[in-house]
Amino acid sequence: MDRYIFIVATIALVLSGVRCYPSGKVTESCIDMVPQHGSNLQTSKGPYLVDVNTSSFKEGDKVTVTLRGGTFLGFMLQARLVGGVSPLGSFSIPSVTGGQAQLLTCGITNSAVSHTSGSSKSSIQVTWIAPTSGPLNNIQFSATFVQKTQTFWVGVKSSAVTYTGNGTFTGTSITNMPPGSSSLSPISSNGCGSSKVCFSQPMSCDPSVSSNCYFMSAVTSSSGAAVQVEMAGASNGYIAIGFSDDQKMGNDDIYICGLDNNGSIQIKHAFSTGTVTPNIISLGNISNFKASVNNGIISCSFTTWNTISTQRSIGSSSPYYLMLVYGSMSNGNIVVHNRAYVSDSQVNISNPAIVTTGGEPPLVKAHGSLMLISWMTTASLGMIIARYLKGVGRGKGCGNKDMWFVVHMTLMILTVVASSIAFILVFSEVRDWTGGAHPVLGCIVMILALIQPSVAMFRCGPTDKWRFVFNWFHALNAWVIKVLAMAAIFTGLLLLDATDNQWLVKVMGGFVGWEAALYIVLESYRCWKRNDNSDASESTSMELLILGLFFLGNLCFLVALLVGIGMQ
């Protein structure tokens, strides 16, 4: 009985080895080239070699490739760009191979070769045919050798074969169309949600219609091996897309379309390792690259055969967050992006959909709201009271201080405290200088705002002969802070406003006009009092009425902006 059990177990073991793709139909291994035989991948140097009969090639050339170095049962062979992960070109099988090899389609027809049976082999010779068009660069032939069912070597490479053709591919970028080129058909939102995945800001905008539309789309081939990508947006340097496992920068697969020093568009492949400049990597297998720049709008499209990889997720069928950014270039290199848009959820780009943004983080909205309240309301009222309403409650106040001074000091302290909280909130969320001029202006405002009360604490007395120095410094610094704060708010709203007509910025412009009109009225009234031989320092009910009207108008503008921020 034991003898029969042993015989059955032996037969089962043999059959389990036989069923591991002895026919060589191993398209499941097109990407990683790992046999479906278990996990016994050999890490030591194997006995096998991949030989080529030439050290260089150009478009349409034929290269003879020989697999040798001992007996093996199965194999798989592909040509790839050096550092790339996708097959390139096609193969043919000469008669000398004797029916031991067959052609496979790994995204590209006849782009791989494998065995036809599990019989023992000692040498395989095939011919690789270089593409006649598209981006080319130096290549290597990569092979998998199966010595036994569960003993195999993956990634056995030939020496590099140098590309000597006249194509446009150089290094890690393709320099293509000059500014104003019309070779690229207008990118549009046609097919979004039905035939392609689209991600845009503002949501559902059409780049063929709106110049304020940042747009990307992706269409996966039926085999899943290739992804056709489009991107467009207004930029003076570059636009880029990224595939990520989360909504923060780091471990992202990135493609960049940017202007070089000659004004031509180049495409780069990159990988980010954190909130630093992404590492430029081999472009890999990219084809059908087209680009144009027209009236400041950068557009490009291409097909990538590279496997999307964030290290944690691999392949076009995995879900990713989508990222869309734009920024400036310096000496052909990207600098910190001006703005980044991130999808609100992960998306499988194999399934057509319209993807939405997650909106601004709550802490960023809180930062903006506090800054608006500080510099549109408390700071404005405090400055107006100090200049025009010193006669209110004179001799009445708190701690021997006039009422106007108590109110002015309270409002300005609230301004500094709210600004400080807003400053801490945004840097705890963003943790970098993303945003162009806005964070720089914000930091200057914050420093000057902290200097203002610090100097006031050590001011000399009202009758001191040097008191005028403090008065002038205090007033001048206040106006500098006010102007810079308004500039910071405008640049912040430009970053925050996702509407097509930028209505938040227009509302802020209305507020500035409203406040300027108030100062003109108050100054005119003050001059009239002087000419009427009235004491200009004495406040009247008219000034209080003007202040009340200003506050009501101010409140309307503020509420509109706060609602707008909440909607972003």
More confident residue, 470 or 390: 470
pLDDT confidence tier of residue 364, bands split at 50, 70 and 90: confident
Q: What is the pLDDT of residues 421-464, one digit of tens each?
A: 988 888 777 766 666 788 888 899 999 999 988 888 888 887 88
Structural contact between residues 306 and 286, judged by C-beta atoms closer than 8 angstroms: yes
Is residue 13 over pLDDT 70? no
Structural contact between residues 257 and 265, judged by C-beta atoms closer than 8 angstroms: yes
The CB-based long-range contact list for 455-464 (8 Å cut-off, 24+ gap) reads none
Least confident of 191-205, 302-316, 322-336: 302-316
**pLDDT (0 to 100) of residue 315:** 66
**pLDDT (0 to 100) of residue 24:** 58
pLDDT confidence tier of residue 169, bands split at 50, 70 and 90: very low
Q: What is the pLDDT of residues 98-147, one digit of tens each?
A: 789 999 988 788 999 999 988 899 999 999 999 886 667 789 999 999 98
Structural contact between residues 148 and 73, judged by C-beta atoms closer than 8 angstroms: yes
**pLDDT (0 to 100) of residue 222:** 77
Stated pTM of the model: 0.49
Is residue 75 over pLDDT 90? yes
Is residue 562 over pLDDT 80? yes
Q: What is the pLDDT of residues 14-42, one digit of tens each?
A: 444 434 456 657 777 787 788 875 656 78
Average pLDDT of the residues in 354-382:
84
For residue 483, the tally of other CB atoms under 10 A from its CB is: 11
Structural contact between residues 333 and 211, judged by C-beta atoms closer than 8 angstroms: no
For residue 540, the tally of other CB atoms under 10 A from its CB is: 15
| CB neighbour list of residue 347: distance below 8 Å, 6 or more residues apart | 197, 199, 319, 320, 321, 322, 353, 355
| CB neighbour list of residue 340: distance below 8 Å, 6 or more residues apart | 249, 323, 324, 325, 434
**pLDDT (0 to 100) of residue 563:** 86
Taken in order of first residue, the domains within the chain and their CATH numbers are: 2-163 (2.60.40.4060), 171-355 (2.60.40.1210), 362-567 (1.20.120)
**pLDDT (0 to 100) of residue 170:** 35
